[in-house]
Amino acid sequence: MATRFVEGIEVETGSGNVLADLGLPGAEKLKIKSGLVIEITVAVRKLGLTQEEAGRRMGIPQPKVSALLCGDFANNATVCFTSSLPQRTFA
């Protein structure tokens, strides 16, 4: 990564994946999952769905939808619905 100074402060140009730049394990997977969660959040808001409705459409229970929308990937909810995405749609 390139380093430069801006107004006397050392600044490093990022790689495009802040999670990798921070040295987090599994950074590429986390970046993909976070991007997917962002898209799901946008769709849920755009369609005005409740978490219960979104969960029904994705085939996961409401508590897992809540966890996803809060950025919790530890419960593996992403595994549950990513395998069913081709069959299910939000529209």
Q: What is the DSSP string of 10-41?
A: EEEPP-S-HHHHTT-TTHHHHHHHHHHHHHHH
* Domain tally, the chain: 1
Model pTM score? 0.65
Asked if residue 7 belongs to a domain, the reply is no
Asked if residue 4 belongs to a domain, the reply is no
Asked if residue 91 belongs to a domain, the reply is no
pLDDT tens-place string over residues 10-48: 998 898 898 899 999 999 988 888 888 889 999 999 999
Asked if residue 72 belongs to a domain, the reply is yes
| Containing structural domain, residue 44 | 26-82
